[in-house]
Amino acid sequence: MKNSYLYSNKETKIFEEVPVRGLIFFLKKLRVYELFEKYARDGRTRKGSYSIASLLMSALEMILFRSPSKNDFYQNKKLGRKEGYKHLGIIAHIKEEQFPHSKTIDDAFLSLDPACLEPVLFALFKQLRSSKFFSHLALKKYPNYRLSIDAVCSHCYSALSQHPCEACPFCLKRERLTKEGSKKVWYLHIEVIASLIFEGGLQLPLCIHPIRKTKEWEDLCENDLKQECEQTALPLILAKIRSYLPRIKLTALLDGLYANQTSLDVLERFCFDWDIVLKRLKSVQEAIDSIDLRMRSLANRRFILTQTACFTNHIPYSKYSLNAIEFNEQAQKKPSKRFAKVTSKIVHYQWIVSKIIDSSSLFSQIDEARSRWRGEELVNTLKNRGFYLKHDYSRHPSSQIIWKTLIFLAFALTSLFFLSDIGIKSRKGVSFHFLMKQMLQDLFYLSYEKIFLCPYPKQLRFSLWAAAG
Q: In this structure, which long-range contacts are made by residues 235-238, counting pairs with CB atoms below 8 Å and at least 24 apart in sequence?
A: 235/266, 235/269, 235/270, 236/209, 237/149, 237/192, 237/194, 237/207, 237/209, 238/266, 238/267, 238/270, 238/272
pLDDT band at 7 (very low <50, low <70, confident <90, very high): very low
Q: What pLDDT does 468 receive? A: 41
pLDDT (average), residues 58-75:
90
Q: What pLDDT does 81 receive? A: 61
pLDDT (average), residues 6-22:
70
pLDDT (average), residues 318-338:
87
Q: What pLDDT does 16 receive? A: 79
CB of 85 within 8 A of CB of 94?
A: no
Q: Does the pLDDT at position 407 exceed 80?
A: yes
Q: What pLDDT does 79 receive? A: 53
Q: Does the pLDDT at position 463 exceed 80?
A: no
pLDDT band at 338 (very low <50, low <70, confident <90, very high): low
Q: What pLDDT does 61 receive? A: 94
Task: List the one residue out of 379, 400, 389, 396 whose CA is nearest residue 230.
Answer: 379
pLDDT > 90 fraction of the chain, expressed in percent and rounded: 55
Q: What pLDDT does 4 receive? A: 39
* Mean per-residue pLDDT over the chain, rounded: 88
Q: Where are the beta strands (DSSP E) in 279-343?
A: 294-299, 303-317, 320-333
Cα–Cα distance between 198 and 137 in angstroms, integer? 10
Q: 232 or 11: whose pLDDT is higher? A: 232
Q: 376 or 56: whose pLDDT is higher? A: 56
What are the pLDDT digits (tens) for 232-247? 999 999 999 999 999 9
